[in-house]
Structure 1
Amino acid sequence: MAAVVKLIPGRTVFFVCDIQTRFRTFIHGFDHVVATGNKMLKLAKVLDVPVIITEQNPRGTCSHAPRSTLGRRALAACAKPSFQPSGPPLHLGTFEKTAFSMAIPPVTALLKQHNFKSVVLFGIESHVCVQQSALDLLQLGYDVHVLADGVSSTRSQEVPIAIARMRQAGAQIVTSESAAFELQTDASKDNFKYFSRLIKEEAERTEQALEVLAAPASKL
């Protein structure tokens, strides 16, 4: 019988993989990836979940547009929620990288320092940086949860194949809302009204992201 892998409140970190402005015109459903990413950052504040962000070679050039730099991240600053978490620092760091995987030394050092067990992973591209990050993190012994409505690639056809590869390797494929409720765990908690309000505010964008991003990801 296979072991049940669950998100662990207090030992979970959100990994934001290379959501950068220069990819906007090349990534399938890019605005939906950004919408999911922004929702997860808002949820991170309400749920007290730390965040690690990477940027893929922001001073380098993009293979799809060699005369343009990749640029900085496209996520907006989060609106300050009414509920103020009191746990660990939300933003543990933003790291530039040339490696495709997010599992670079300063990031893995943070994982060990904070004794994390679960990683919620989203960003781009599904079949490159997201996939290599997932495989490396799994190999290091972390539970990896990939958001089906929070990842994409330049070609939509790449996404379901990458999702299948990560699932086969042991990653959990979940949706942003499923992950959020798993971390919330209980409607009796003090933060629930803020959590519930945020889920309702994001409902339309969540539905759109599921339709554009998660539907192709469920083909295999």
Structure 2
Amino acid sequence: MLNEQDTGLIVTDIQGRLAKTVYQSEAFLLKCEQLIRAAEVLALPIIWLEQVPDKLGATTPVLQPFINRNSLITKCTFDACQNAQFVDTIQRNGKNQWLICGIEAHICVYQTALSLLERGYTVFPVSDAVSSRDPDNKQLALANLRDAGAAISSVEMCLYQLLGSSQHPAFADILAMIKE
């Protein structure tokens, strides 16, 4: 079960034209925004990844306002764990549970999540906040990650786990975000 004290969020490569061409991009981007905003309210560490932004473009404009430039890591490998800065950032945060959202589910999200699992982290791919151009690739990635030991979640599912109770101080704010 997720807990607020031991959880962080990894935002993977939601960039350029690709962010607009993934399956159900509008719904996907809305769920990513909800997840990111809720993570900010809960003061979870957020690590932002961009895959070769000089070629693929920067993070999509709808998410730009939420980026903390100090936590933005540029990478060229599909598996972010092949990037020393990413591994160092994960270790420095001291969290054992990582939510992961982004694109593409079957490439960068999949490879990064698998490597995190192999390193002993608990990984929660957020099903409605990951996407691919082809929905079959997304489903295949989530199925393989589940088989590898990941705990597949959704935005609402993970947020309610993190809150734990309607008495949580952030409950009203997060409920309002979910209802948007």
Aligned to 1:149: 128
Tell me if the contact between 1:127 and 1:159 (Cα under 8 Å) persists in the aligned partners: yes
* 2:74 maps to amino acid: E
Task: From 142, 157, 166, give the equivalent of 1:187.
Answer: 166
List alignment gaps of at least 5 residues for structure 2: none
List alignment gaps of at least 5 residues for structure 1: 1-5, 61-69, 79-89, 202-220
Matched residues in 2 for 1:44 and 1:148: separation? 16
Matched residues in 2 for 1:25 and 1:109: separation? 31
Tell me if the contact between 1:28 and 1:154 (Cα under 8 Å) persists in the aligned partners: yes
SS in 2 for 1:95: strand
Aligned to 1:43: 38
Question: Where is the helix percentage greater, Structure 1 or Structure 2?
Answer: 2
TM alignment of 1:132-171, pairs within 5 A: 132-171=111-150
Root mean square deviation of aligned Cα:
1.6
Deviations along 1:134-188, one digit per CA (max 9) or x if unpaired, are 1100011100001110111121211111111111000111111100011111221
In the alignment of these two chains, the number of paired residues is 176
Matched residues in 2 for 1:93 and 1:173: separation? 24
Sequence identity (%):
29
Matched residues in 2 for 1:114 and 1:24: separation? 27
Larger radius of gyration: 1
Task: From 97, 116, 138, give the equivalent of 2:75.
Answer: 97
* 1:77 maps to amino acid: P
Residue 71 in 1 paired to residue 49 in 2?
A: no
Tell me if the contact between 1:13 and 1:116 (Cα under 8 Å) persists in the aligned partners: yes
Aligned to 1:119: 98
Residue 34 in 1 paired to residue 29 in 2?
A: yes
Q: CA deviation at 1:45?
A: 1.8
TM-score by length of 1: 0.75
* 2:147 maps to amino acid: Q
Cα distance, 1:141–1:92 mapped onto 2, change above 3 Å:
farther
Tell me if the contact between 1:13 and 1:50 (Cα under 8 Å) persists in the aligned partners: yes
Tell me if the contact between 2:45 and 2:93 (Cα under 8 Å) persists in the aligned partners: no
Deviations along 1:77-96, one digit per CA (max 9) or x if unpaired, are 25xxxxxxxxxxx7750111
Matched residues in 1 for 2:57 and 2:96: separation? 31
